[in-house]
Chain A
Amino acid sequence: MLDADFFRRWMTATAASVDREAERLTALDSPIGDADHGSNLQRGFTAVVTVLEEEAPGTPGGVLTLAGRRLISTVGGASGPLYGTLLRRTGKALGDAEEVSAEQLAEALRAGVDAVMTLGGAAPGDKTMIDALVPAVDALGDSFAAARTAAEEGAVATTPLQARKGRASYVGERSIGHQDPGATSSALLIAGLAEAAGE
């Protein structure tokens, strides 16, 4: 069973990898976006770790809803409301339980990903974070490690796609050949989950 501490470790591990990869995320965002993805997420996840230490929510749902709110208020770019909604909806779906199963987490994360698709209007294949998250959620039934691999493969598979949503869609065909920064950071989020699980 997964408790609040597991979810705190997930957020901390994600913050650390976003920190490590911030320059790469921003570099990926330079040719097709506005070159702020790494620094925006770095600011957001740093704030998440701080607020989780300050308020120390006692349930998995509490950790994720607080983290989501913090991302919405600190990121400053589209990834704020998108990642914020992902974590908040996932957290809300987990409710007030003190511990949740991996199956419950998979189900809740699917609700979160659905909410992101509704908010941003993106579908699989649009070259967005959805292209890493949907395969990850599908693989979560097998193991956390399988979800991490699926997310990484999903992110890499965005390279030949043409962006159909967000800032990158304005550059049209020139978005082809670049790995999507949002899918790449989503793979970091899922890798953080696997790390928290010790996989």
Chain B
Amino acid sequence: MSDEQLVGIVLVSHSAEVAASVAELAKGLAGGGPAVPVAPAGGTEGGGLGTSSELIAAAAASVDRGAGVAVLTDLGSAVLTVKALLAEGDELPERTRLVDAPFVEGAVAAVVTASTGADLAAVEAAATEAYTYRKV
């Protein structure tokens, strides 16, 4: 993929506020590099707690620049819905990947890495590696 095309990031949480806030946090910590396309997909379409396949599909389409889309999730139905959409085949952009990572730390690592122009595999590796940073 060429340098202009950045990997897109989708953040799926049961809560719209959590997804939007983590997106803001990750973009804020990414600093002054090129703006990574990041889209939150939180809560249900009605604004409640839960997961919406429609919001996820729309978020993924909105951040797809052709370099792939990394999807990070919180838990439970967020994980299962993304997996079910991926199994569907045509619901998410080509080269969309569910990334196994802690939600907040992984999102920061993914956005910072994507801002360097790294490819999808490198973004995924950075997000997953966030699991290894112990705090105590």
Contacts and interface: CB of A to CB of B under 8 A. Distances in A.
A72 B81 contact: yes
A81 B77 contact: yes
Interface string A50-85: 000000000000000000010011001111111011
Contacts of B49: 34
User: How many of chain A's residues touch chain B, expressed as a range?
Assistant: 20 to 34
B29 interface: no
B120 to A, nearest CB: 23
Given A73-B53, A85-B87, A80 B76 contact: no
- Would you call the interface of chain A mostly helix, strand, loop, or mixed? helix
Contacts of A80: 51, 53, 77, 80-81, 84
B76 A84 contact: no
A120 B88 CA distance: 16
A167 B76 contact: yes
A177 interface: no
Interface in A83-127: 84-85, 88, 115, 119-120
Contacts, number: 51
B85 interface: yes
Contacts of B88: 69, 72, 88
B96 to A, nearest CB: 16
A85 B84 contact: yes
A76 B54 contact: no
A81 B50 contact: no
Given A166-B76, A167-B76, A77 B50 contact: yes
Contacts of B87: 85, 115, 119
Given A69-B88, A76-B48, A82 B53 contact: no
B83 A119 contact: yes
Interface string B100-126: 000000000000000000000000000
Given A69-B88, A85-B87, A76 B80 contact: no
A78 B76 contact: yes
Contact of B51 (A76, A85, A88, A120): A76
A72 B77 contact: no
B52 A119 contact: no
Contacts of A119: 80, 83-84, 87
A158 to B, nearest CB: 19
Shortest beta-carbon contacts, A-B, top 10: A81-B84, A76-B50, A78-B77, A81-B80, A76-B44, A73-B53, A81-B81, A77-B77, A78-B76, A78-B80
6 contacts: A36-B50, A72-B85, A72-B88, A73-B53, A76-B51, A81-B84
Interface of B: 44, 48-54, 76-77, 80-81, 83-85, 87-88
